[in-house]
Amino acid sequence: MEQLADRGLTTAEIAERTARGQVNEVSRRSSRSLSAIVRANVLTLFNAVIAALWVLIMIFGQWQDGLFGLVIVANSAIGIVQELRAKRTLDRLAVVNEAPVRVRRNGAEAEIPPRKVVLGDLILLCPGDRLLVDGEIVGSGGLEIDESLLTGEADPVHKAVGDRVLSGSFVVAGTGSYVATKVGDDAYAAKLAQEASAFGLAHSELRAGITRFIKYITWLVVPIGLLLTWSQLNKAEDFGQAVTGAVAGIVTMIPEGLVLMTSIAFAVGVVRLGRRRCLVQELPAIEILARVDVLCLDKTGTLTAGGMNLSEVRPLADDPLTTEALAALANLEETPNPTVQAIRVAHPAPPGWNATTTVPFSSARKWSGAEFGGKGAWVLGAADVLLTPETPEYGQAADLAATGLRVLALGRVATLNDPVGSVEPRALVVLEQRIRPEAADTLRYFAEQGVAIKIISGDNPESVSAIATALGVPGGRDAVDARTLPEDDPDKLSEILDTNTVFGRVTPHQKRLFVSALQARGHTVAMTGDGVNDVLALKDADLGVAMGSGSGATRAVAQVVLMDDDFTSLPSVVGEGRRVLANIERVSSLFLTKTFYALVLSLLAGIFGLAFPFTPRHSTLVNALTIGIPAFFLALAPSNERAKPGFVPRVLRLAIPWGVVCALAVHLSYLLAETRGATPEESRTAAVVTLFLVTWWALVLIARPYLWWRVSLVGAMVVLFALSLAVPFTREFFALTLSDPADDVVSVAISVVAALALTAVFRVVRPADKSPVQDRPTDTLEV
């Protein structure tokens, strides 16, 4: 083991183990396989039902009435293509997002992709690293591992040589190395995550709501479909005509395009965010984006750039060792954080300073230290943690922090065992933080959109307050010191969180409590972060957003990763989620209106023993022009409205009365034409004209506000329907006739009355709900 810790594996050993398949190959959670995509889009219940009905038409009816069978091809092809686009985007960004693994091979350090790790590799660890495989520790320099994501225990665990470590944990302090003993699907985290890491498209509140729609509709379609079939067999003159009428009703009842549009909206959202270098690691995250009403921001790395500049080292006592001690502490870390790196640039390692005992920095302690033999024990950390409030040095540090600077204290201690409160201050180390220039505009956007901002930082409250005030954050001057918060009183903590915006000296454990407290008050919480101290909160938040330059652990647990660390991407990320939910609600109203008017027409035909008022080819024409084609564009339109709860009842409150109005209008047109002695083809034409005009008016209402492309869209549908009536070939193909103008006038008159009824329903339902349908999108359309 000692030899392995020195040199690692050789090239020959790596090749041998790779050939045996002892490699860390695990499937990515960001997308499913090609075969799974094809199966999910082709082998669906809707496709099976439509295929069976198409076969019946091909056997007993006319082939023109089998046009609805193309829905199978269109739904499957569009769904597969869009999801493959999303898969390529996800997989490409997932590879970029993979934090490289540091290993020692052939006696030299190297960085390799996680999937190239083999059994027996010597893996090197530093703060922020996520353990990707199981193993045994062979080197430890104050190594502390957080296993809370596996065990639920929040306290870091000290690891010594010989200790076992599990994949899924991460390093919070110190350095070390371990030998991989289990890789790939044999690793502990891989076994736990096998189900949770699957492709997430099927697990979301939105899709759950649509699944409920389908379940309800299935309960209705089966008995009503049987009733309709029985009535058509009794009414029709021949069996083929009966089958055609029954199939027309059943096909129209099925909202076959609703699931497709939802899948397309998700997939296009992934592609759009991918173009902005945003990696969506779990597709339901797109939906959660729209529901977010509280955004928790970690100051460092989010509001401020990751790097820092050393402003000054202000001596507090006459000690000739001060400068050398600062340099020695700063150069102990193998992988320094931005704060230590800024000090190292100005103070290289001094000779003769050899540490005998070290305590690495951690976010929970907020200090690091070392004992240097005869030169004494020294600590470096947050001034307001190491110093006592009664000292003048504490006041100096507080005054500096109030200007937005980061202030560390350097001091001597008698022992490294709990030195807080017994530090002999020697210097204040002052660092400048760089505010991101785009942060103010981004925060202003969220304020305008009704998203509450909570700035949560481990830094001094005065320093955080200064940054927040400079960015114009409301309430930024009134920073709360998290050390004074009542952690054992969730209600009180929730109240403080609701009424305050800026929090300093927040520990990783408290960040997690903050998220839980906000969620307990019914908030949908998004959390951003880039450091290892943010991991637990990112994991518990409804939506975790990590910076691309952040630690491997944060990127692993976040649902969204901003690959370019571009804070201005957040409005686009949130806007994409809002677009998806608002537009799916919009098109759901169209699809379910169709379902309910078909159900009512089928009931009327079944109960009164009447012929169904149109054939499958008529249904195909009208549905394509008033639902299918428009829904495709409306599902991809911009939207800015935050999603509201109650998606299912809100859609049903509109779709059910609309469906009833449409059905009654169509049924009345058909009956009046038949009563006046019209032929079956003339009666069906009158019903089709009414059906188109009424459902087209529903489209007009749903398409609001009337931007140029929306007006063009609804206008184009009228032109296409008019052409289908005017052109002899299409008129004959769709079995339409205009031989009796009186029937057409009656149909138009009935349609006008029905349109007024639809408008009345819309005005009653939508303003009361303040639905996303009435949003205020931009005047551009991106497809």
Cα–Cα distance between 286 and 577 in angstroms, integer?
5
- Of 131, 255, 267, 256, nearest to 199 by C-alpha is 267
Q: How many helices (H) and strands (E) does the chain have?
A: 29, 21
- Of 108, 110, 162, 169, nearest to 140 by C-alpha is 162
Strands 543-547 and 560-562: parallel
- Of 547, 606, 538, 472, nearest to 279 by C-alpha is 547
459 is catalytic: no
With contact defined as beta carbons under 8 Å apart, do 80 and 41 qualify? yes
129, 298, 769, 775: the active-site residue: 298
Cis peptide before 705 (omega within 30 of 0): yes
Decide: residue 255, CB within 10 A, 0-12 exposed, 13-18 middle, 19+ buried: buried
Cα–Cα distance between 496 and 482 in angstroms, integer?
11
DSSP string, 283-309: THHHHHHHH--EEEEETBTTTEEEEEE
Between vectors from CA 31 to CA 110 and to CA 49, what angle results, nearest 5°? 165
Decide: residue 181, CB within 10 A, 0-12 exposed, 13-18 middle, 19+ buried: middle
CA 123 to chain centre: 32
With contact defined as beta carbons under 8 Å apart, do 665 and 591 qualify? no
Q: What does the H/E/C string look like for 619-641? A: HHHHHHHHHHHHHHHHCCCCCCC
Cα–Cα distance between 697 and 695 in angstroms, integer?
5
C-beta atoms surrounding 230 within 10 Å: 14
Cα–Cα distance between 538 and 532 in angstroms, integer?
10
In 8-138, which ranges are continuous DSSP H helix? 11-19, 34-42, 45-60, 70-97
The pair of structure tokens assigned to 716 is: 């184009």
With contact defined as beta carbons under 8 Å apart, do 209 and 647 qualify? yes
For the annotated catalytic residues, the residue numbers are 298
